[in-house]
Amino acid sequence: MKPFELHNVTCQIGKKPLLEGISLSVEKSDFLGVIGPNGAGKSTLLRLLNATMKPSGGKLSLLGKDLVSASQRDILRLRRKIATVPQIMDFNLSIPLTAREVVEIARIGRNGPGRSLSPIDTAKMEESMELMGISSLANRTFRSLSGGEKQKVQMARVLAQEPDILLLDEPTSSLDMDWQERLVRLIEDIHLKNKFTVVMTTHITGHLPSRCERIVLLKQGRILFDGRFGEALTKENLEKLYDCRVDILSHSGRIHCFGIGAKE
């Protein structure tokens, strides 16, 4: 069973198309990078993959379940197996939860509402926070943390959930340069140790870890290219993607792209 399969999927709000004719599938434990400019449809794709949105057309299977015909109960069960780390700006808490309580959300969601946390749940939470180096932040409110600390709490939440699929929506956005690099290495380490199926969206090629085996280039809701890392991130493909001249630099297994001016 593949973690997810999309066949000719379309998604729209009113008459506005967000995704058009998307066909895509991955194998278990794959690391898929989705690159595209703002408005390409990256976040919409992740909303389909975490079962918070249904496609307008086509077929979408998540962990063997047809999402189009899935009941609300089926969807809730799927979400227990899918973890999402949204952009920092999209994870605003209206109530002052502590870092520990944010991690706790994962175990509550995994077990289902109304069930008390077991010693196993507590141990998994503590282990996840320790692995992320945030045990000392456990009693601080999430909103008081720095951007990098918030993302580490989010990663601890993901580890505590023990998902089958991990979705990362531009996880390095709003972080300073030091924390961008730290987080890329952290994501790489998490995939290496846990073998989640990972989908990471970004518009910065250099933020994709070297463990990312496959790249989808997404532009205006359509797949421009789908292939191996080195084949996808070429000068020709990236200039088509961003509609500008680019220069590329390969370093330590990662490819960095720089805009160098408008197309002539």
| DSSP annotation string for 167-190 | EEESTTTT--HHHHHHHHHHHHHH
CA dist 230 and 74 (Å) reads 38
Quote the number of domains for the chain: 1
| DSSP annotation string for 3-43 | SEEEEEEEEEETTEEEEEEEEEE--TT-EEEEE--TTSSHH
The verdict on residue 59 lying in a domain is: no
Asked if the model's pLDDT at residue 192 lies above 70, the reply is yes
The verdict on residue 174 lying in a domain is: yes
pLDDT digits (tens, 9 = 90+) for 98-110: 999 999 989 988 8
Segment 195-218 shows an average pLDDT of 93
Q: Per-residue confidence at 173, pLDDT binned at 50, 70, 90? A: confident
Residue with the two structure tokens 């227990």: 80
Asked if the model's pLDDT at residue 93 lies above 80, the reply is no
Q: Classify strands 197-202 and 31-35 as parallel, antiparallel or unpaired.
A: parallel
The verdict on residue 252 lying in a domain is: no
Give the pair of three-digit tokens for residue 37: 């400019």
| 8 A C-beta contact, residue 33 and residue 42 | no
Asked if the model's pLDDT at residue 222 lies above 70, the reply is yes
pLDDT digits (tens, 9 = 90+) for 147-167: 888 888 998 999 999 999 999
The verdict on residue 190 lying in a domain is: yes
Segment 56-77 shows an average pLDDT of 93
Long-range contacts of 64-70 (CB under 8 A, 24+ apart): 64/1
Of 25-29, 30-34, 88-92, 233-237, which gets the smallest average pLDDT?
88-92
Between residues 126 and 13, which one has the greater pLDDT? 126
Q: Per-residue confidence at 258, pLDDT binned at 50, 70, 90? A: confident
| 8 A C-beta contact, residue 197 and residue 84 | no
What DSSP designation does 203 have? S
Cβ neighbours of residue 29 closer than 8 Å, sequence gap 6 or more: 195, 196, 197
The verdict on residue 160 lying in a domain is: yes
Asked if the model's pLDDT at residue 82 lies above 80, the reply is yes
For 98, counting Cβ atoms within 10 Å of its Cβ (0-12 exposed, 13-18 middle, 19+ buried), the class is middle
Residue 28 Rama label (left phi>0; alpha psi -120 to 50; beta): beta
Asked if the model's pLDDT at residue 176 lies above 90, the reply is no
For the domain that residue 194 is a member of, what is the CATH number?
3.40.50.300
pTM: 0.92
The verdict on residue 69 lying in a domain is: no
Asked if the model's pLDDT at residue 89 lies above 80, the reply is no
Segment 117-123 shows an average pLDDT of 92
Asked if the model's pLDDT at residue 90 lies above 60, the reply is no
Between residues 89 and 178, which one has the greater pLDDT? 178
Cβ neighbours of residue 119 closer than 8 Å, sequence gap 6 or more: none
Asked if the model's pLDDT at residue 235 lies above 60, the reply is yes
| 8 A C-beta contact, residue 256 and residue 223 | no
Q: Which domain holds residue 106?
A: 27-51+75-234
The verdict on residue 256 lying in a domain is: no
User: What pLDDT shows up at residue 100?
Assistant: 95
User: What pLDDT shows up at residue 94?
Assistant: 61
The verdict on residue 244 lying in a domain is: no
